[in-house]
């Protein structure tokens, strides 16, 4: 009968539309300023009340960590640095002790390309203070040489339980290349404790995931170091970390030169030849340190350091705009920019 068949059309349409519809799990999002950047948290499958409770707890946690681990303002790390400079040791809390121990192990694995003991050099360049006057010039070569000559190294530290001391008073810890990674790992622990199973914590260029956003992987966009827009995208699974270090985060220009904040501990000057390094790894602390270490290692030598640090998924954009990658990274990265940059695969 014609009427029944006419009715079938909208019913069919409705069925088709409903079939295509997937109910996404409830998403709670919040963002907060911490560690000098905007930290985004995305929580799946929580009620707004739970979300607010989690936000409040994380905000508190981040602020406490920021204060404890910022060496340039009064706090636990500043106190430690003062003690080390005065030639005696002091006791720190378990978290700071853990962070220092991890820093020492990662520095060793990276051949000291990642070297958190160079606080004096960082201070010399002026990259440490968030809002003070920019240096009007590059530091005097003699000052840089002098800082280098003191050879502050993580191996100079003695760690005895919670007691930290140094046989080299020039060791001044700046854990900036590690702190966000640890903060992110600890945030995820807190989320698990609070019963959250699926979440993403993104501190600017440093993120880690927990669970999944529904029945699909996480979709992460990687920004182009030199132009607006997305350079590449990545599908990321539960528990993976994606960390990027770039020469565009903090820099100043002077007399035609451009000086960024990732110093090469061997030369005392900003590491050259690289625009950004992106690492995918499980553990956020390793990913954070490796992003810096490989940046310093440079466009030729980075694969050896990646091997030594046991990171297998690396993308390095060099000063020529070429994307150098490990095979494991090449398998999962998708370039969004057309045309894609020149690609160089470097097996480890």
Partner 1 sequence: MSRTDTVITILAALLVAALYWLLWQRGPAGSEASIWVAGQETMRVPLSVDRRLEVEGAVGRSVIEIADGAVRVLDSPGPRKICVRMGWLREAGDSAICLPNQVVVRIEGDQPRFDAMNF
- Applying CB under 8 A, the span of 1-9, 105-113, 159-167, 321-329 interacting with partner 1 comes to 1-9
Among 28, 114, 218, 259, binds partner 1 (CB under 8 A): 218
Among 115, 120, 172, 244, binds partner 1 (CB under 8 A): 244
Cβ–Cβ under 8 Å, residues 180 and 203: yes
Q: Is 56 in the site for partner 1 (CB under 8 A)?
A: no
- β-sheet with 343-345: strand ranges across: 27-34, 37-44, 198-203, 206-210, 241-246, 274-281, 313-318, 323-325, 343-345
Q: How far is residue 333 from each of residues 112, 152, 280, 286, 323, measured CA to CA in Å?
A: 29, 38, 11, 20, 11
Q: Is 207 in the site for partner 1 (CB under 8 A)?
A: yes
Site string (70-109) toward partner 1, x via CB under 8 A? ----------------------------------------
Tell me whether residue 249 or residue 273 sits nearer to partner 1 (CB atom): 249
Q: Is 28 in the site for partner 1 (CB under 8 A)?
A: no
- Applying CB under 8 A, the span of 80-88, 107-115, 227-235, 267-275 interacting with partner 1 comes to 227-235
Q: Is 38 in the site for partner 1 (CB under 8 A)?
A: yes
Site string (117-156) toward partner 1, x via CB under 8 A? -------------xxxxx----------------------
**Number of residues lying near partner 1 (CB under 8 A):** 49
Q: Is 219 in the site for partner 1 (CB under 8 A)?
A: yes
State both tokens at 138.
């590059």
Q: Is 192 in the site for partner 1 (CB under 8 A)?
A: no
Q: Is 305 in the site for partner 1 (CB under 8 A)?
A: no
Q: Categorise residue 230: left if φ over 0, alpha if ψ from -120 to 50, beta otherwise.
A: beta
What is the binding site for partner 1 (CB under 8 A)?
2, 5-6, 8-9, 12-13, 16-17, 20, 31-33, 36-38, 40, 42, 130-134, 200, 202, 204-207, 213, 218-223, 228-230, 233-234, 242-244, 246, 249-250, 252, 278
């Amino acid at each position: 009968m014609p009427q029944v068949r006419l009715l079938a059309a909208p019913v069919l349409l409705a069925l088709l539309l409903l079939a295509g519809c997937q109910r996404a799990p409830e998403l709670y999002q919040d963002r907060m300023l911490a560690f000098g950047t905007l930290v985004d948290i995305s929580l799946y499958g929580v009620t707004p009340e739970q979300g607010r409770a989690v936000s409040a707890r994380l905000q508190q946690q981040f602020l406490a960590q920021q204060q404890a681990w910022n060496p340039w303002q009064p706090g636990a790390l500043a106190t430690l640095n003062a003690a080390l400079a005065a030639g005696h040791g002091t006791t720190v809390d378990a978290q700071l002790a853990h962070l220092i121990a991890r820093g020492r192990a990662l520095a060793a694995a990276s051949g000291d390309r990642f070297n958190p003991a160079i606080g004096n050099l960082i201070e010399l360049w002026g990259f440490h203070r968030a809002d003070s006057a920019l240096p009007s010039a590059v530091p005097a070569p003699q000052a840089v040489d002098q800082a280098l000559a003191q050879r502050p190294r993580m191996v100079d530290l003695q760690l005895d339980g919670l007691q930290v001391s140094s046989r080299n008073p020039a060791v001044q810890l700046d854990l900036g290349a590690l702190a966000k990674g640890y903060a992110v790992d600890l945030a995820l622990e807190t989320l698990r404790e609070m019963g959250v199973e699926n979440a993403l914590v993104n501190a600017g260029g440093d993120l880690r995931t927990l669970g999944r956003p529904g029945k699909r992987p996480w979709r992460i966009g990687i920004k182009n170091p030199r132009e607006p827009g997305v350079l590449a995208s990545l599908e990321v699974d539960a528990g993976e970390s994606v960390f990027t270090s770039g020469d565009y985060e903090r820099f100043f220009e002077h007399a035609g030169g451009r000086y960024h904040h990732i110093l090469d501990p061997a030369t005392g000057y900003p590491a050259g030849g690289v625009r950004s390094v992106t690492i995918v790894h499980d553990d956020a602390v390793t990913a954070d340190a490796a992003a810096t270490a490989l940046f310093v290692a440079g466009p030729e030598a980075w694969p050896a350091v990646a091997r030594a640090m046991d990171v297998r998924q690396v993308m390095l954009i060099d000063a020529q705009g070429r994307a150098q990658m490990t095979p494991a990274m090449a398998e999962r990265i998708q370039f969004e920019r057309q045309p894609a940059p020149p690609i160089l695969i470097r097996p480890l």
